[in-house]
A and B are shown apart, each in its own frame.
Chain A
C-alpha cells in the first residue's frame, strides 16, 4: 500500500477550516432557552380555566420572545396536565422537573387553580423549587411557604372591595358560597369583617357539583342583600334562581362574576362585583392584549388568560438585565417589587408570598362592566 506525502498546506488548511467551522457554529449557536414549567388542569372539570391560563402563558411567551426573550435567551414553556388526583399532579411535577416534558431544568413552575397548586406545594417546598400559583385563592397555598408564591387575589384582598359594594344599611346579608377552601374563606372573612356592624350574616353553602339552584335559593330566606361566591356556573345559577324568585335587592359577587360569560348573562344585570383592571377599556395596556388574544383565539379574554400572560411578562421583567437563573429570580421575589401589568399595579412586599392584587368596585350594566 502506498502512502502519499501530505501536502505542507494540508494541516494549516484543516486547522483553518476547523476554526472557521467552530467560529460559525459559535456564532450561530443560541444560548440555552429559559424553561418555564406549567402544571394546569387540562382535563376534567377545570379544563376551561386551565386552557385559558395555558393560552395566556403561550401568548406571553410569544411576545417576550418577539422582544428578544430574556436577555437574548428564548423562553420555552413546558406544559403538563395535572388534573385528577394527587398522583396525577405528582406525575406532572416529575415530568416537568425531570425535563421529560421537553426542555431543561425549569426556572420556575407555574400551577393553575387552588386545588392543583395546593397539591404541588409540598413538592415545591421539599425540593426547594419555585412554585407560583395562578388562579389560586386558597389561603393555605402560601401559609408558611418558602418557595411558593401566589399571583391571584386572595379572599382577604377581595374583602375590602367586596364589603364596600354592599349597602351599608342592609340588616341581613345572605351569602351563597361554594363549599370549598376559597368559598369558605370568603364566607368566614366576610363574617369577621362585618362583625363590628349590625349586619346579620346568613350562609348558604353548596357543593361543587350542584346544578339545581332554584331549590337552593327558594329554600333560603332572602335578606336585604345577597353575596354570591363560586365558579361562573354557580354564580349564574344563583342569579338566575334569584331572578326567577323575584328578588330585586342588591347583589354582590366575587371576582369570578367578572368573567364574560357572567357579565353577558341578563340575570347578572345590576350585580356589584369586585373587578380586576383588565376589563376596563380605558386601561389601554390590558385592552391591547385583549384585542390580540381575541383576534388569535376567537374567544373572550378573561382574567385567567390575563393571569397566564402577565406572570410571564412579569417574570421576564424581573430577570431583565440580570442572570436568568433560579437564585436570581428567588432573590428578586424575596426582595419584593412593584409591577404595572395587566391587572394594574401589583406589588409584592419584601418577604411576602402573596402579591398585592389591585381590585376595583364595579357594576354589571347591560352586559358591560362599569367601573366606579
Chain B
C-alpha cells in the first residue's frame, strides 16, 4: 500500500532519520548548556545574595559594637561624675562648670573616643560624641558647643530614650555635626535607671574602612553600599560619599528586598545581587542596601570554556554521527541498489546477472537468495531451451535446435570463409516398418539410426532430426570429398548394423543427399534444399545410396 512515507526513497528516509537524531542531539546539547548557564547564574546570584546578607549583617554588628563602646566609655569616672551631677540638679541647664560642656568630661570623651584611636591606631572611628543627662541637657561634647543645650526634643534623643538604641540616617554633615552615621544609646545606671543619652557620629572613614574590610571578596566584584533612597555609602570603585546613584541601572534593577538580576549596558552584562537590611535586630532600622556586581563574562568564564568544549564535542559527535550514518546508509543502500539493478537486468532477460553479497546480515541473505533464485531460473531456462531444441525420442537436436545451430555455423562460415557441407538422411521404407512392426519398433529404428549417425559424425559436426524419419548433418570445414566419405560411412554403418528391436533384428538402410556450400548459396536453407534434392535423387536411384547435389 502506498503511503506518504514509502513514496520517499530509502536514502531520503535514512537521511531524515539521521537528521532527526542529530537535531535531537543538538537540541538536547543546547538545552543542557543553556540550562547550565541559567543554573549557574541562579547559583551565583543566590550565593552573592547570601554573601551580601553576611556583609550587611557584619556591618550592622560593627555598628552595634561601636554603640557598646560608647556605653562602656561612659563608665569612665570623670564622665560618670559629670552625668551624676547633672542629673542631681533640679531643672534648668547644668550649672556645675567643672562638668559642663567644654570641660574635663568633654576632653575625656575626645581623648577616649578620638585622640587615643588616632594616636595608637592611626585612624578615626568616631567623628563626634555627645552626652546628655536624663533630661536632655548636653553634659559633654567632643565638638564645639555654644553652651548648654536641651536636646530632649530631638528625634534621636526620644528614640534612644524610648528604645534604648537608635541609628539615624547617614548624613553629609550639617552645622556642627560632621558627616557620618549618627547613633544614639540610652545610658542606664547599675539599677537600670536612665542617666542620660549618648549620641555619636561614626566617621565616614570608619564606615568606609569597615565596609572595605567586610567586602574583601576573593572574586573580582564591585560592591556598593547605599542608603535606602540610593545615596552611596561605599563602593569598591572610587566613589563620592552620599552621591545619588538611585538612577543607576543596578539600583533600578532592585525590585524586592533581596534578589538578583542581570543588567546589560552596551555590550557589557553584569549580574547584580542585592539585599536590603530594613531592620537589623541589634541596632534597629539601618535601611542600607548592599549590591554585589559581577561581570557576567567573568562569572561564566569557566562555563563558557566548558560550553565551547561542549560545542566542539557536539560538532565532532554530529560529524561522526553524520559520517557513521552515511556509512550505515551505504551499507544498506549499496546491496539494495545492486539487487535492484540485478533484478532489472534479469527482468530484461539477462539471467546471468548476480550480486556480490558480503557480510552476514539480512541483506547478504537476501543477496544469496537472489543469486540462488537466479541460478535456478537460469538452469530452468537452459533446460527449457534444451528441451525446445532436442528431439525427445532420439535425443539429437530437433529441427528447431538444428536450424538454430545451422544459422550459427552459417554465420561463422560467412565470417571466416570456411567450407561447409550438409547431409540429409532418410530411412528407407520406414512407413513399411511402421506398418509391419508397429510404431514402437519404428521408434526404436529411429533411435537406432540416430544413435549410429550421431556417433558416426565428427565432434565438430552437428547431427539432428528434421522430422519423421528424416535427419540432417552439418559438417563445418568439410569439402565435397570429406562429406561424401562421411555420408558413405554413415550409410554403410546403418545398413551393416541391424536394429536390435523385438525378437529379430531389423536391417534398415538410409539414403543420403550431400550438398557443399557454393558461391550461389544465399542461405543455409538453399544448401539444405539442394541436399534434400540430392536425397530424393538417391531415393529415385534405388535407395541405400549417397547422392551429391550438383
- Cross-chain contact B119 with A164 (CB below 8 angstroms): yes
Partner pick for A67 among B123, B204, B234, B298, CB 8 A cutoff: B298
| Dominant secondary structure of chain A at its interface with chain B | mixed
Partner pick for A68 among B215, B237, B295, CB 8 A cutoff: B295
Which residues from chain B contact A318 at a C-beta distance below 8 Å? 237-238
- Cross-chain contact B238 with A332 (CB below 8 angstroms): yes
A300 CB–B CB distance under 8 Å: no
Nearest A residue to B205, CB-CB = A345
B460 CB–A CB distance under 8 Å: no
- Cross-chain contact B118 with A339 (CB below 8 angstroms): no
Listed residue (A161, A283, A318, A338) with the most chain B CB atoms within 10 angstroms of its CB:
A338
Partner pick for B212 among A161, A320, A336, A340, CB 8 A cutoff: A340
- Cross-chain contact A361 with B120 (CB below 8 angstroms): yes
A284 CB–B CB distance under 8 Å: yes
Q: A332-B238, A361-B121 are in contact. Are A72 and B212 (CB under 8 A)?
A: no
Interface string of A140-177 (1 = CB under 8 A from B): 00000000000000000000110010000000000000
- Cross-chain contact B239 with A337 (CB below 8 angstroms): yes
Taking the closest CB of chain B, its distance from the CB of A339, in whole angstroms, is 4
B193 CB–A CB distance under 8 Å: no
A359 CB–B CB distance under 8 Å: yes
Listed residue (B123, B215, B295) with the most chain A CB atoms within 10 angstroms of its CB:
B123
From 245 to 298 in chain B, residues with beta carbon under 8 angstroms from any chain A beta carbon are: 248, 265-268, 295, 297-298
From 160 to 212 in chain B, residues with beta carbon under 8 angstroms from any chain A beta carbon are: 204-205, 208-209, 211-212
- Cross-chain contact A67 with B238 (CB below 8 angstroms): no
B122 CB–A CB distance under 8 Å: yes
- Cross-chain contact A164 with B122 (CB below 8 angstroms): yes
A372 CB–B CB distance under 8 Å: yes
- Cross-chain contact A67 with B121 (CB below 8 angstroms): no
**A332 to B237 Cα, complex, angstroms:** 12
Q: How large is the interface on B (under 10, 10 to 19, 20 to 34, 35 or more residues)?
A: 20 to 34
- Cross-chain contact A68 with B122 (CB below 8 angstroms): no
A344 CB–B CB distance under 8 Å: yes
**A164 to B121 Cα, complex, angstroms:** 9
Interface string of A267-295 (1 = CB under 8 A from B): 00000000000000001110010000000
- Cross-chain contact B268 with A339 (CB below 8 angstroms): no
Nearest A residue to B240, CB-CB = A337
Nearest A residue to B241, CB-CB = A338
Partner pick for B266 among A71, A314, A345, CB 8 A cutoff: A71
Listed residue (A63, A335, A336, A344) with the most chain B CB atoms within 10 angstroms of its CB:
A344
Q: A68-B295, A340-B208, A345-B212 are in contact. Are A320 and B237 (CB under 8 A)?
A: yes
Taking the closest CB of chain A, its distance from the CB of B196, in whole angstroms, is 32
- Cross-chain contact B216 with A284 (CB below 8 angstroms): yes
- Cross-chain contact A67 with B295 (CB below 8 angstroms): yes
From 315 to 340 in chain A, residues with beta carbon under 8 angstroms from any chain B beta carbon are: 317-318, 320-321, 332, 335-340
A360 CB–B CB distance under 8 Å: yes
- Cross-chain contact B268 with A68 (CB below 8 angstroms): yes
B220 CB–A CB distance under 8 Å: yes
Which residues from chain B contact A264 at a C-beta distance below 8 Å? none
A266 CB–B CB distance under 8 Å: no
Which residues from chain A contact B267 at a C-beta distance below 8 Å? 72
**A336 to B241 Cα, complex, angstroms:** 10
Which residues from chain A contact B238 at a C-beta distance below 8 Å? 314, 317-318, 332, 337-339
B218 CB–A CB distance under 8 Å: yes
Nearest A residue to B223, CB-CB = A340
Which residues from chain B contact A283 at a C-beta distance below 8 Å? 216
- Cross-chain contact A71 with B119 (CB below 8 angstroms): no
**A63 to B121 Cα, complex, angstroms:** 32
Interface string of B117-154 (1 = CB under 8 A from A): 01111110000000000000000000000000000000
**A339 to B268 Cα, complex, angstroms:** 23
Taking the closest CB of chain A, its distance from the CB of B264, in whole angstroms, is 12
Which residues from chain A contact B118 at a C-beta distance below 8 Å? 160
Which residues from chain B contact A336 at a C-beta distance below 8 Å? 240
**A340 to B221 Cα, complex, angstroms:** 13
B236 CB–A CB distance under 8 Å: yes
**A362 to B298 Cα, complex, angstroms:** 37
- Cross-chain contact A67 with B240 (CB below 8 angstroms): no
**A136 to B160 Cα, complex, angstroms:** 48
A358 CB–B CB distance under 8 Å: yes
From 472 to 511 in chain B, residues with beta carbon under 8 angstroms from any chain A beta carbon are: none
Which residues from chain B contact A335 at a C-beta distance below 8 Å? 240
Nearest B residue to A161, CB-CB = B122
**A274 to B208 Cα, complex, angstroms:** 21
Interface string of B216-229 (1 = CB under 8 A from A): 10101010000000
**Chain A residues proximal to chain B, CB less than 8 Å:** 63, 67-68, 71-72, 160-161, 164, 283-285, 288, 314, 317-318, 320-321, 332, 335-340, 344-345, 347, 358-361, 372
5 contacts between A and B (CB under 8 A): A288-B218, A339-B238, A347-B208, A358-B123, A372-B122
- By Cβ-Cβ distance, the 8 closest A-B pairs, closest first, are A340-B212, A317-B237, A284-B216, A339-B238, A337-B238, A317-B238, A345-B208, A161-B122
**Chain B residues proximal to chain A, CB less than 8 Å:** 118-123, 204-205, 208-209, 211-212, 215-216, 218, 220, 222, 234, 236-241, 248, 265-268, 295, 297-298
